[in-house]
Amino acid sequence: MPSRRRFLAGGLAAAATGIAGCIGTSADETSALDTLAVAGSPGGSVRVAPVDDVVLLDFWATWCAPCEPQMTELRRIEREYPAVHMLSITNEADEAAVERFWRDNEGTWPVATDPDLRVSERYDVTRIPTLIALDTENAEVWRHSGLAAADTIADALDDAGA
């Protein structure tokens, strides 16, 4: 029968291995995404959450019913908070559908695709739409799933230091 000391040592080793695995998949793999060159989105690579910026991440999909009216709220936020780093992220691989949605709903900030779910998993996004506000040190200060009013988003950005 294993001793208590051996059991604890094994548990500690397993925990250290788990922590090392988490450290190995940190920001490097999820720090940038490719954006689409459509409407207000510039195309090219963009950092997901630049340090020293207040960040608003919008996880959405073309098939998501509340995502369309959410675009109206986000356009208002983009006008009122031009210094906030806004990024909309979809896991859809169909770029034509994403571009069509973006044009039809007048997106004016970067939109990125994350078909491998790297960023969605990093931020533990399990529902669409989900909005996440990060402060200038990339700490999450607010999370909302479902349709959010611009005033609610603005309050969260103010809390984040915008």
In this structure, are 20 and 83 located in the same domain?
Answer: no
In this structure, are 85 and 43 located in the same domain?
Answer: yes
CB burial of 81-114 (b: ≥16 within 10 Å; e: otherwise) equals beebbbbbbbbeeeeeebbebbeebebbbbbbbb
In this structure, are 46 and 102 located in the same domain?
Answer: yes
- Domain around 101: 31-160
pLDDT digits (tens, 9 = 90+) for 98-139: 999 999 999 999 999 999 999 999 999 999 999 999 999 999
CATH number at residue 58: 3.40.30.10
Is-contact 130 136, C-beta < 8 A?
Answer: no
Asked which of 39-43, 59-63, 97-101 is least confident by mean pLDDT, the reply is: 39-43
In this structure, are 43 and 81 located in the same domain?
Answer: yes
In this structure, are 90 and 11 located in the same domain?
Answer: no
In this structure, are 126 and 59 located in the same domain?
Answer: yes
In this structure, are 22 and 73 located in the same domain?
Answer: no
Number of domains, the chain:
2
pLDDT at 24 over 70: no
In this structure, are 21 and 67 located in the same domain?
Answer: no
